[in-house]
Amino acid sequence: MKKALKKSALMTGISLGLNYCFNFFVYAIAFYVGSRLVDFQVINPRNDEPYSAGDVLAIYFTVVNGGMSLSMLAPAFKDIFNARLMVGKIFRVIDRIPPIDAESGKGITLTDFVPTTEFKNVCFSYPNKPGAQILKSINLVFEAGKRTALVGESGCGKSTCIQMIERFYDPTSGSITLDGKDLRNLNVQWLRKNISLLKEGYIEFVFHLP
């Protein structure tokens, strides 16, 4: 990223420098050559008459306007480099294989199971904030056929527990099991298809039995 920005700034600086250089160069060439053409009565091939001061000025302004139009390309170089930079980020996201791949066919599926879910010494920190521990050595059992409530202030990890059962995240340490099977060994698609979330002032988490 830093390299691309440096290259963009360099191209912008070169373009502006060339613009000023081109303008002064055109001044010098136009008035020197034009004055020589007028002095020596050189024939203009367009009308078979000697060059006049008006012809010289017409040529001069044509070249200057063309040069100014070319100089307007300078901002486009920055946009081109920004686009290349953004495209690189987009392709990195597209090509990235997440640690929890919902489209993967790997993992086992259970045909007959008891939907008892257990947290065993679970610790967790969000990947973007590894220093802030949300869960610390949590041990919980959600028994099949029973309603278990998680109660606490905002930010204490209630929704995080649900997200971990759905395998949006995996524990930093410890394990979460379903009928004694570690969730990390189960197929993610199968797991999520067998879960329902109902939210009406509270979250109700339901496993679909086969």
Beta bridge pairs of residue 141 = 118
Q: Residue 124: what pLDDT?
A: 92
Whether 73 is in a domain gets the answer: yes
CB atoms within 10 A of CB 77: 17
Whether 121 is in a domain gets the answer: yes
Percentages helix, strand, coil for the chain, rounded to the nearest 5?
45, 20, 35
Q: Residue 47: what pLDDT?
A: 72
Q: Residue 144: what pLDDT?
A: 84
pTM exceeds cut of 0.75: no
Residue ending a domain, choose from 65, 95, 125 = 95
Number of DSSP helices (H) and strands (E) in the chain, helices first: 5, 8
Verify that 90 and 123 share a domain, yes or no: no
Domain that holds residue 9: 2-95
Q: Residue 205: what pLDDT?
A: 53
Q: How many domains does the chain have?
A: 2
Verify that 86 and 136 share a domain, yes or no: no
Verify that 125 and 198 share a domain, yes or no: yes
Verify that 127 and 190 share a domain, yes or no: yes
Whether 32 is in a domain gets the answer: yes
Q: Which parts of the chain register pLDDT below 70?
A: 1, 44-45, 71, 199-210
Verify that 64 and 123 share a domain, yes or no: no
Which CATH number covers residue 128? 3.40.50.300
Whether 104 is in a domain gets the answer: no
**122-149 residue pLDDT tens:** 999 988 888 888 888 989 898 888 888 8
Q: Residue 175: what pLDDT?
A: 92
Q: Residue 120: what pLDDT?
A: 93
